[in-house]
């Protein structure tokens, strides 16, 4: 869940808002991304 906005310009481009939930990034699930960082 988005809890903080660090770059207001990027928000204008993406239409994301505080409270939105992100399930995938670049077609990868959040679990896949976490697994990649833990290796």
pLDDT over 90 at 30, yes or no: yes
Q: Is residue 24 part of a domain?
A: yes
Q: Is residue 2 part of a domain?
A: no
Alpha helices, DSSP H, located in 1-39: 8-14, 30-38
pLDDT, tens digit, 9 for 90 and up, residues 9-27 = 888 888 889 999 999 999 9
Q: Is residue 32 part of a domain?
A: yes
| Alpha carbon distance 1, 21 (integer Å) | 4
Q: Is residue 3 part of a domain?
A: no
- Identify the pLDDT of residue 13: 86
Residues 6+ apart with CB under 8 A from 18: 2, 3, 4, 5
Its domain, for residue 33, covers 8-37
Tokens 């990034």 locate to 25
Residues 6+ apart with CB under 8 A from 6: none
What is the pLDDT confidence band of residue 8, given thresholds at 50, 70 and 90? confident
- Identify the pLDDT of residue 26: 93
Q: Is residue 33 part of a domain?
A: yes
φ/ψ of residue 29, rounded to 5: -70, 160
């Amino acid at each position: 869940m988005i809890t903080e906005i660090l770059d207001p310009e990027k928000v204008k481009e993406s239409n994301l808002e505080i409270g939105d939930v992100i399930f995938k990034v670049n077609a990868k699930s959040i679990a896949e991304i976490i697994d990649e960082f833990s290796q």
